[in-house]
Chains A and B, each alone.
Chain A
Amino acid sequence: MDTKTSQTLDKYAQDKYKYGFVTDIESNRPKKGLDEDIITFISQKKNEPKWMLTWRLDCYKKWLKMSDPQWANLKFPEIDYQDIYYYSAPKGFEEKPKDLSEVDPKLIETYNKLGIPLEEQKVLAGVAVDAVFDSVSVATTYKGELEKLGIVFCSISEAVQKHPELVKKYLGSVIPPGDHSFSALNSAVFTDGSFVYVPENVKCPMELSTYFRINAEETGQFERTLIIADKGSYVSYLEGCTAPQRDTNQLHAANVELIALEDAEIKYSTVQNWYPGDEDGKGGIYNFVTKRGLCKGKNSKISWTQVETGSAITWKYPSCILKGDNSIGEFYSVAITNNFQQADTGTKMTHIGKNTRSKIISKGISLGHSQNTYRGNVSFLRKADKARNYTQCDSLLVGNKCGAHTIPYIDSKNNSAIVEHEASTSKINEGQLYYCRQRGLSHEEAVSLIVNGFCKQVLQELPMEFAVEAQKLVSISLEGSVG
C-alpha cells in the first residue's frame, strides 16, 4: 500500500461521530436487570391491558430457556442481561405529552440538533416523524393529516391502547417470539416503536419516519415496530437512529414486523448510524435486530433498503416471506464497517407462493480492522412454482487489515425455481483513484466518489428526501470529517 493511501486510512481511523452528544435530562428508570417484576413494571408504565402483560410474560419464559444464536461471524463477550436497564424515560413522561408544549425543551432541542425538528412550523416537508427517546415516544408529527385518510401512525404503546384488535391479530405473527432469543427478549421487554396501519386502497401521501435515539447510559433499547398495509394500499417508511458516544457497549434489540395484504406495497428504509465505538473498538452499540415482512396477499410487495454505517456489532437480516402468489420481496443493502466494527448482515427470502420473485442487492464496504459479512438465505418451498431470485453481492475492501465474507445459502424444493447469484470482492481500485486524482480530486474525495458509485444501485432506492443525506453519511463514514 502506498503512503498516501495509508495516510488517508489513518485519517479514516480517526473517524469522528457527530451525534455523540448526551442530552442532560433526568430520567426515570427502575433497577437494572431482567425479571418478571421489571416486565410488569414496563407494562404498568405503558398502562397496558392484561393480555399484553400475559403475552410479555409468556415470551419472557420462552427467553429464559433459550441461548443467543452463535452462528454469526461476530466476536463479542457474552451479554450480561442483568447489567442492563430495561426502561428509561425522560422525567415528565409518566404519560405521553398531548402536545409539544408539555415536552421538556431539552428534548426538542436534542431532535433539532439531530436535524429532526418536531415543532409544527419547522417539521420536515412531506415526512411524518415519530420521535423515540430511550423507551418512549416523544412526539409524532402530521398526525391529524394522516388521520383524515384513515392512516394510523402512532407509537406502539398507543396502538396497544387504541387499536388492540389489530395489535392482537398481528403482533408476533411474522416474527414468532420463540424464533430466537433476541425476538423472545424483545417481545418480553419492548418499550416503544411505531405502529402503522394503512387502510384499503389508500396510498400514503408522505414518508412515515421514526427516529430512534438512545440517550441514557447502560440502557437497552427494545423497539417494536408493526406496519400493516391493507389491500391495495401503499406506504413508505423510514427509520433513523443515533446514540451518544460512550465507552461501554449498549444493546439495541429491535423487532420489526411488516404485513402486506393483497396488492399492497410496503417500502421500508433504514439509515442506521448508531455509535460505532472508537478507533480502538471501545464502546458502541450492539445492534441485534430482527426485521421480517410477510407478503400475505397475492401481488403484494415488500422492499427493504438499508444503509448501515454505525454500531459496533450489526446482526441484522431483513427478510421476506413470500406467501401470496406473485408477491415480490426486495432487499437493497449498503453496509460500511470501519475501525473495529463487525457486521453480519443480509437477508432471507422464503418463497412459498407461485410466481414469487425476490431480488437482493448487497454492497459491503470494509475499512480499517473491520469485518463485514453478507449472509443470505434463499429458499423455495414445494409449491413455489416458477419462483425466481436474483442475488448480487459486491464487497469492496479499503486497506489490507479488513475482511469481507459472503455466505449465501440456497435451498430449493421446487424444480421450476430459477436462481441467479452474482458475487464479487475487490479492493479499491488504484487505477480509479489515479484517474480521479489526475483530474484534480484529492485522494479522500476520490475514495468517497468511488464508494458512492459502488453503492449507487442501493442508494437510489432510498426515498428522495433521504438519498442525499445517505450519500453524505457514506462520505462521512469514510472520511472522518466532523461535518
Chain B
Amino acid sequence: MIFLNINNLNVSIEGKKILNDFNITINEGEVHALMGPNGSGKSTLANVLAGNEDYEVNSGKVIFKDVDLLDLNIEERAQKGLFLAFQYPVEIPGVNITPFLHASINSKLKNEKKPEIDNLSFTKLLRKNAEELGISSDMLKRSINTGFSGGEKKRYEILQMSILNPEFAVFDETDSGLDVDALRIVTEGINKFKNPKNSFLIITHYQKLLEYIHPDYVHVMRNGKIVKSGDISLATEIEASGYQNF
C-alpha cells in the first residue's frame, strides 16, 4: 500500500528554490534513507513535510494516506500520524514532558475519535517506555530538552515517538552531534519501534547511521531532487568516494 507519495514538489525560501520537482514514494513498513551533501535540500524536505511555515510551497502534492498534507497545518499533520524527530530539539524551560506528551497523545487520540488516555495509565506508559530507553526518572522530571546533552535530546525524541506511535516518522540528521554510544542507543530505540505498519524516512549525511538501521532503500539527493536510488550498497559507495560522483 502506498503510504506517502511526493509528486513534483517545488519549494523555495525567500525566493530561493530549494526543492526542485522532488519525487518519492514510500510504502507501508518501508525504511528509506535520504543522503546528500550539505545544502542539497534534505532538511528542507523534513520541515516541509512537517508543515513549517517558513517555507513556501510553489507546486506539487504530498499525499499521505488519503489526504494532501499540504492542505493541513502543523498540528493536523502530527495528529494524522506524522512525526518529525528534530535535528536540534528546542529547549522549553519550565515545561515538563509528562503533561506535554499527555496533551499531545490525547490530541491525536481525539482526532482518531478514540477515547483519551487518563493520567495514571499515561504516566505508567511513559515510565515503562522511558525505562526501555534508559531514561532515568530524574530526567523525566526536568524541563523538556533543557540543559540536555545532544544524546539525551535525541533519546527524548525517540521516547516521544514511542508514545505517540506515529505511522510515519521522519528523522532529520538524528546522528549529528552524537558519539558512537549515543548513536547506538538511539538507533536501538528506532529498531525496536519498527514494525510492518509504520514507515521511516531517515535523513543523514553520513553512512554510519545506516550501519545500525538497515534501510530498504537509499536515495541520494542533490540540488533539490533525488539523483539516484538503490539499496544499502549506494551508501557504501558514498562512504568510499563521497558525493562528487552524483
- Whether A440 lies near B90 (C-beta < 8 A) is no
Contacts of A442 in B (CB 8 A): 75, 107
- Name B68-93 residues within 8 Å CB distance of A: 73-75, 78-79, 83-84, 86, 89-90, 92-93
The reply to whether A452 and B95 form a contact with Cβ atoms under 8 Å apart is: yes
Q: Determine the chain B residues whose CB is within 8 A of the CB of A453 once the complex forms.
A: 92-95, 143
Kindly supply a per-residue 1/0 record for chain A positions 249-266, scoring 1 wherever the CB is within 8 Å of any chain B CB and 0 otherwise: 000000000000000000
B contact residues around A454 at 8 Å (CB): 93-94
Residue of A nearest to B95 (CB): A453
Residues of B contacting A455 in the complex (Cβ-Cβ under 8 angstroms): 94
For the complex, give the distance between the alpha carbons of A456 and B164 in Å.
26
Please determine whether B108 and A434 come into contact, CB atoms closer than 8 angstroms.
no
Q: How many B residues touch A, CB cutoff 8 Å?
A: 30
Which residue on chain B has the smallest CB distance to residue A3? B53
Whether, in the assembled complex, B104 has its beta carbon less than 8 Å from a beta carbon of chain A, the answer is: yes
Expressed in whole angstroms, the Cα–Cα distance for A262 and B104 within the complex equals 50
CA of A179 to CA of B143, assembled, Å:
44
Smallest CB separation, A86 vs chain B (Å): 43
Residues of A within 8 A of B50 (CB): 434, 438
Q: Using Cβ atoms and an 8 Å threshold, which residues of chain B touch A432?
A: 90, 92
> In angstroms, how far is the closest chain B Cβ from the Cβ of A119?
31
Check A441–B103 contact: CB distance below 8 A: yes
Q: Can you name the residue of chain B whose Cβ is closest to the Cβ of A449? A: B95
- A420 on the B face (CB < 8 A): no
Residue A436 CB within 8 A of the other chain: yes
Which partner residue on chain B sits nearest A394 by CB separation?
B93
Name the residue among A4, A429, A438, A454 with the largest chain B CB count within 10 angstroms.
A438
Task: Give A419-451 interface residues, CB cut-off 8 Å to B.
Answer: 429, 431-432, 434-443, 445, 449-450
Q: B92's contact among A4, A438, A440, A450, by CB below 8 Å, is which? A: A450
The smallest C-beta distance from B80 to any residue of chain A, in angstroms, reads 9
Measured CB to CB, the closest approach of chain B to A280, in angstroms, equals: 30
Residues of B near any A CB (own CB < 8 A): 50-53, 73-75, 78-79, 83-84, 86, 89-90, 92-95, 99-101, 103-105, 107-108, 111, 143, 160, 164
- A interface residues, Cβ below 8 angstroms from B: 2, 4, 429, 431-432, 434-443, 445, 449-450, 452-457
| 13 further A-B pairs in the complex, CB-CB below 8 A; given A431-B90, A437-B78, A456-B93 | A4-B53, A437-B74, A438-B74, A438-B83, A439-B164, A440-B111, A443-B75, A449-B95, A449-B99, A452-B94, A452-B95, A453-B93, A457-B94
A-B CB contact pairs (8 Å), 19 listed = A429-B90, A434-B52, A434-B74, A435-B86, A435-B92, A438-B74, A438-B83, A439-B101, A439-B104, A441-B75, A441-B107, A442-B107, A443-B75, A445-B107, A449-B95, A449-B99, A453-B92, A453-B95, A454-B94
